[in-house]
Amino acid sequence: MKKITLITTFLVLITHLFAQEPAITDTSATLVAAQGQEAETFYNQGIEEFKMKNYQGAVENFDKAIAINGEFAKAYFNRGVVKTELNQNDKALEDFDKALEIDSKMGIAYFSRALLKFNKNEFSQANTDLKSAISSSYEDSKVYYYLGITYFQSDNYKEAEDCFTKSINFDSNFAFAYNDRASTKRQQNDLAGAISDYKTAIEKNGNIALIYNNLGSALKQNGNYEEAVAAYEKAVALKADYYIAYNNMGSAYFQMNNYEKAAENFKKASQLKPDYAFAYNNLATVLLKLEKYQEAAQILDKAIELDPNYGFAYFNRGSAKEMLRLPKEACADWKKALELGVKTAESLMQDCN
């Protein structure tokens, strides 16, 4: 996350993996056990146990099916799915690997393996598996959605945008796909397109605080501060502890020169998350505007205590120390800010020894 004096970077992604539906799908097509086919019988019993959420019973039946038929790809795959439900992700990966070793065209196994890799932040490997799922004719909105996120994580925004568009083509009501496509457009400086997509996402699902926050940030970036505040208000109405939205709302008020409301929101953000250094720095910036230099310096002490590498906090504390007639301390803070990459500090150090 880039550290900016007044604006924190917006959140992009929602990645609750396996939250929508179990990966076992169309089980009716698998219930085809014939008399004497013991492996199929145990497999079908495993499916039934899974339906009843008896995950241990499901694993035991898939174990028996595999013991009889060691090349039973669907049994390995579905056992892997059950193991994800049991949070045995490493063992699940082994089962997905084995299923694909047996059947290299099992698209759903590529997709399921990709989600586990995605959850481990192994985005490049997840990208490969998702593309293999598509080439194996396993295509739906979720495949392209997660593929888009992997491209986003590698800063390949055009490819990400294309994937989110394909996800929307499969499911025109997929709010998160509109949200994340909007975020790729923001990264490509297409603010009008981003705002439009965020608004469409809200039309599809108006109960997601994250999307209102993201809309607010795009509107703020576009100079539409009052509309941004309204969006942030929606976000905190949906999620009362949404400290990032309070912080962002404070920055919108700051841009409107409404320092009282800016301070109120920065304080709220810091109360909700006491270790949130950005909010302390931003509150101090308001206090500097109000010429409350001592109070600003004390709050910046807190920001630096929380994040000793927060360059802008040193920069701002240097400004507070200068106004408090403490030139040596001011110069020391500006020097530290410059060391931490705040280039604007250099111009303030001309009179420093």
DSSP H helical ranges for the chain: 38-51, 55-68, 73-85, 89-102, 107-119, 123-135, 141-153, 157-170, 175-187, 191-204, 209-221, 225-238, 243-255, 259-272, 277-289, 293-306, 311-323, 327-339
Read off the pLDDT of residues 336-350 as tens digits, 9 standing for 90 and up: 999 999 999 999 888
Q: How many residues does the chain have?
A: 353
Cα gap 183→113, rounded to integer Å: 26
Read off the pLDDT of residues 146-173 as tens digits, 9 standing for 90 and up: 999 999 999 999 999 999 999 999 999 9
Predicted model pTM: 0.84
Residue 191 within any structural domain of the chain: no
- Number of structural domains (the chain) is 1
Q: According to the 3-state scheme, what is the secondary structure of 17-74? A: CCCCCCCCCCHHHHCCCCCCCHHHHHHHHHHHHHHCCCHHHHHHHHHHHHHHCCCCHH
Read off the pLDDT of residues 294-320 as tens digits, 9 standing for 90 and up: 999 999 999 999 999 999 999 999 999
Cα gap 286→221, rounded to integer Å: 19
Confidence of residue 17 (pLDDT cuts 50, 70, 90): very low
User: For residue 296, with 0-12 CB atoms within 10 Å meaning exposed, 13-18 middle and 19 or more buried, which class applies?
Assistant: buried
Read off the pLDDT of residues 53-91 as tens digits, 9 standing for 90 and up: 999 999 999 999 999 999 999 999 999 999 999 999 999
Residue 284 within any structural domain of the chain: yes
Residue 100 within any structural domain of the chain: no
On average, the pLDDT of the chain sits at: 89
Which domain, by its residues, includes 337?
Answer: 274-353
Instruction: Please compute the mean of the pLDDT values over residues 248-270 and round it to a whole number.
Output: 97
Residue 35 within any structural domain of the chain: no
Confidence of residue 37 (pLDDT cuts 50, 70, 90): confident
Give the count of beta carbons closer than 10 Å to the beta carbon of residue 274: 12
Residue 134 within any structural domain of the chain: no
Bigger pLDDT: 94 or 6?
A: 94
DSSP readout, 229-273?
Answer: HHHHHHHHHH-TT-HHHHHHHHHHHHHTT-HHHHHHHHHHHHHH-
Residue 340 within any structural domain of the chain: yes
Instruction: Please compute the mean of the pLDDT values over residues 264-269 and round it to a whole number.
Output: 97
Q: What percent of the chain has pLDDT over 90?
A: 87
The lowest-confidence range among 8-17, 30-39, 42-51, 210-219 is: 8-17
Residue 339 within any structural domain of the chain: yes
CATH code of the domain containing 305 = 1.25.40.10
Residue 125 within any structural domain of the chain: no
User: How much is the pLDDT for 350?
Assistant: 84
Longest Cα separation, the chain:
92
